[in-house]
């Protein structure tokens, strides 16, 4: 009995003095297809608190990121795969296409990750975690292989690229 109380006390102290965890968005890849749809892959790191929340089905990063993308883009988003450290999405009608078959201009929307921050802030454990929703590296890849790269940006500007 006394050893159980001691173990529980030590665990409680560890939780109290442990540094806050962090949700970190490591990489974001947006691959634009010829038809204007896109495959979006987000790699992230969960804190121990978030890992517990996912384990107990309190939070689902794939669904939360899906909702944030749908709100930001205004179009349906499909989760194509989800693992403990990454999630992939398919987005139809991501980029607008103008021009002819010879020269096509792909225009992508701007993205602001503030909506995802609001979702995270609504959880009971929000005060226990720090979030970094600015991907360490973001790559937007167009159908011809041209890439635009950004580092530690919390918002992406609209982009335009001509494919000849």
The per-residue pLDDT for 125 is 61
Question: For residue 123, is pLDDT > 90?
Answer: no
CB 81 within 8 A of CB 72: no
- The number of C-alpha atoms within 13 Å of 136 and in the hemisphere containing its C-beta is 8
Statement: residue 65 has pLDDT above 50:
yes
- Domain limits at 101? 22-151
Answer whether residue 126 is part of any domain.
Answer: yes
User: Does residue 46 fall inside a structural domain?
Assistant: yes
In a domain, 17, yes or no: no
Alpha helix segments (H runs only) across the chain:
2-17, 48-55, 61-73, 114-121
Contact 160, 107 (CB under 8 A): yes
Q: Does residue 10 belong to any structural domain of this protein?
A: no
Within-domain flag for 15: no
User: Distance between CA atoms of 18 and 45, rounded to whole angstroms?
Assistant: 18
Res 17 pLDDT > 50: no
Give the E-state strand segments of the chain in sequence order: 21-32, 38-45, 77-82, 86-91, 96-99, 104-108, 111-112, 129-132, 137-141, 147-151, 155-156, 159-163
Is 90 exceeded by the pLDDT of residue 137?
yes
- Of the two residues 7 and 60, the one the predictor is more confident about is 60
pLDDT tier, 13 (very low <50, low <70, confident <90, very high otherwise): very low
pLDDT at residue 103 greater than cutoff 50: yes
Mean pLDDT lowest for which of 16-25, 43-52, 138-147?
16-25
Q: Is 41 a domain residue? A: yes
CB 107 within 8 A of CB 95: yes
pLDDT the model gives residue 36:
96
Name the domain count of the chain: 1
- Other C-beta atoms closer than 10 Å to the C-beta of 35 total 12
In a domain, 116, yes or no: yes
Please count the other Cβ atoms lying within 10 Å of the Cβ belonging to residue 19. 7
128 pLDDT tier (thresholds 50, 70, 90): low
In-domain check, residue 44: yes
pLDDT of amino acid 120: 67
Does residue 109 register a pLDDT over 70?
A: yes
What distance in Å separates the CA atoms of residue 155 and residue 146, rounded to the nearest whole number? 20
């Amino acid at each position: 009995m006394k050893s159980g109380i001691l173990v529980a006390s030590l665990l409680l102290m560890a939780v109290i003095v442990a540094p806050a965890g962090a949700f970190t968005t490591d990489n974001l890849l947006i691959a634009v297809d010829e038809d204007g749809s896109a495959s979006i892959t987000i790699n992230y790191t969960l804190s121990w608190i978030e890992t517990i929340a996912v384990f107990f089905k309190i939070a689902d990063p794939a669904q939360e990121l899906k909702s944030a993308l749908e709100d930001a883009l205004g179009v349906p988003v499909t989760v194509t795969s989800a693992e403990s450290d990454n999630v992939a999405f398919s987005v139809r009608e991501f980029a607008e296409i103008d021009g002819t078959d010879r020269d096509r201009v792909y225009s992508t929307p701007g993205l602001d990750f503030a909506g995802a921050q609001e979702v995270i802030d609504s959880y009971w454990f929000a005060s226990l975690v720090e979030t970094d929703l600015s991907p360490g590296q973001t790559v937007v890849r167009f159908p011809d292989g041209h890439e635009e790269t950004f580092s530690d940006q919390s918002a992406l500007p609209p982009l335009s690229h001509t494919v000849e």
